[in-house]
Amino acid sequence: MPPELRELATHLSSIEQVEVETDKPLGPCTSYRIGGPTAVWAAPRSEEGIRRVLAAVHAAGVPLFILGRGSNLLVSDRGWQGVTLYMGENFSGWEFHDEEAAVRAGTLWMDLIRDAVDRGMGGMELMAGIPGGIGGANPLDATAFLEEVWGIEEVGRETLRGVETTRYAGSLLKYSFAEAGHDKAAGMAPSGEDFAGVRPYQAGDARKLIAWRLAARSDELSVKQFEASGGGDLTLDFDALAPSIGLEQRLSRLTRWVLDADASRMRYSLRLPDAVIDMSSGAQHRDRCLTALAVCKG
């Protein structure tokens, strides 16, 4: 082990509520049970512990890997020559406050869902198809039975030196099984489209299009862009968006897609609760769609 990692391991061991090991096999921490050891393993049990581990790792300038519950993760037999920050059972649990739940990143979806169901909160049971934890599902926008994480996630979040504490609103968990929606509108890279690069993230962009790997290497979010390989038409449908994200967010997302489709010179139609605009393209079509979105009351 390089001396800088050995020195860092010694320092991390002195931090309260942080379990530290060296040369710990990563295979048992993944669903595949395959993988070599990590040079340094750190498992904090508090947010303060997470902050201090991250500060020490960044100060030392050594490689960092954040590991959650390890679902569908394949680790090389060579292991990881850096620090693994583990966010599993050591950082799990939740607290319900009236109709909201504060959930830790290492919490298993099924544990949270069972408790929510016991409390009479329905709707989140659709996420029971996700085998891992809350922390990994959030940035990857995990999906189960056509429902997505962002559909029940409260917009507000607190970022703590790269660690996100996210709140899940109980009021959003109450929509019924039959009401659970999913995105099938434009912007989701439908078949027949080719990757055309990235651009800076803008309010209203679909989370599915965020280039998360690129975001991990920079401080800014970027969005993947696609070009229609066969000149396909797009249908922008208000009712195809998950009701749980709210009226204003649905209108904002549709507005962004209208602007993107117009910039790409694509043909598109718009379906709103109080207006239907047929397939077309061009500046007049764009302005008509934007006007309809501006006056839409849902």
150 shares its domain with 206: no
Tens-digit pLDDT profile for residues 6-16: 999 999 999 99
154 with 201, same domain: the answer is no
Inside any domain, residue 184: no
Q: Which residue has the tokens 């569908």?
A: 72
Query: What tens digit of pLDDT does each residue of 230-267 get?
Result: 445 788 888 877 776 778 888 888 888 888 788 878 88
- Residue 257 carries which DSSP code? H
Closest CA to 164 of 134, 131, 130, 201: 134
pLDDT digits (tens, 9 = 90+) for 265-296: 888 899 999 999 999 999 999 999 999 998 99
Q: Are the C-beta atoms of residues 6 and 44 closer than 8 Å to each other? A: no
DSSP H stretches of helix in 61-120: 109-118
Residue 25: other Cβ atoms inside 10 A: 16
Asked if 202 and 279 sit in the same domain, the reply is: yes
End position of a domain, from candidates 65, 87, 109: 87
Structure confidence at residue 98 (pLDDT) = 73
Beta bridge partners of 93: none
The answer to whether residues 29 and 110 belong to one domain is: no
* Token output for 220: 């800014």
- Given this model, what pLDDT does residue 44 score? 96
Report which of residues 9 and 196 the model is more confident about: 9
pLDDT for residue 187: 35
Length of the chain: 298
Per DSSP bridges, beta strands 18-25 and 37-44 are: antiparallel
Average pLDDT over residues 205-220: 62
Residue 64 within any structural domain of the chain: yes
Q: Are residues 163 and 102 in the same domain?
A: yes
Q: Mean pLDDT, to the nearest integer, of 174-184?
A: 31
**Mean model confidence pLDDT for the chain:** 74
pLDDT of residue 114: 83
Q: Other C-beta atoms within 10 Å of 17: how many?
A: 14
Q: Does some domain include residue 188? A: no
Find residue 38's DSSP bridge partners.
Answer: 24, 80
Quote the CA–CA distance of 50 and 5 in Å, as a whole number.
18
Evaluate whether residue 218 is within a structural domain. yes
How confident is the model at residue 265, as a pLDDT?
A: 80
Q: Which residues contact 123 (CB under 8 A, 6 or more apart)?
A: 152, 172, 173, 174, 175, 176, 177, 179, 180, 244
Residue among 152, 166, 121 at smallest CA distance from 242:
152
Cβ 90 vs Cβ 203: under 8 Å: no
Task: Tell me the sheet residues that pair with 261.
Answer: none
Rounded Cα–Cα distance for residues 121 and 40 (Å): 40
| Nearest by Cα to 198 from 164, 232, 221 | 221
**pLDDT band, very low/low/confident/very high, at 129 (cuts 50, 70, 90):** low
Residue 159: give its domain's CATH number: 3.30.465.10
Do 202 and 170 share a domain, yes or no?
no
Q: What is the DSSP letter of 174?
A: G
Give the CATH number, domain containing residue 15: 3.30.43.10
Q: Which of 15-29, 90-104, 143-157 has the highest mean pLDDT?
A: 15-29
Residue 59 belongs to domain spanning: 3-87
Do 200 and 288 lie in a common domain? yes
Tell me, yes or no, whether 185 lies in a domain.
no
Amino acid symbol at 133: G
Q: Is residue 61 part of a domain?
A: yes
Domain's final residue, options 54, 87, 120? 87
Lowest mean pLDDT among 137-151, 152-166, 175-189: 175-189
pLDDT in the model for residue 17: 92
State the pLDDT at residue 127: 62
- The answer to whether residue 182 sits within a structural domain is no
Domain total in the chain: 3
CA 163 to chain centre: 13
Last residue of a domain, one of 150, 177, 204: 177
CA separation for the pair 249, 141 (Å, rounded)? 17
Instruction: Verify that 53 and 102 share a domain, yes or no.
Output: no
- In this structure, what token pair is assigned to residue 8? 């860092």
- What integer pLDDT is reported at residue 174 of this predicted model? 32
Predicted confidence band of residue 169 (pLDDT cuts 50, 70, 90): very low
Q: Is the pLDDT of residue 92 over 80?
A: yes
Residue 198: the pLDDT is 62
What is the token pair recorded at 119? Answer: 């409390």
One domain, residues 33 and 80: yes
Q: Is residue 97 located within the same domain as residue 162?
A: yes
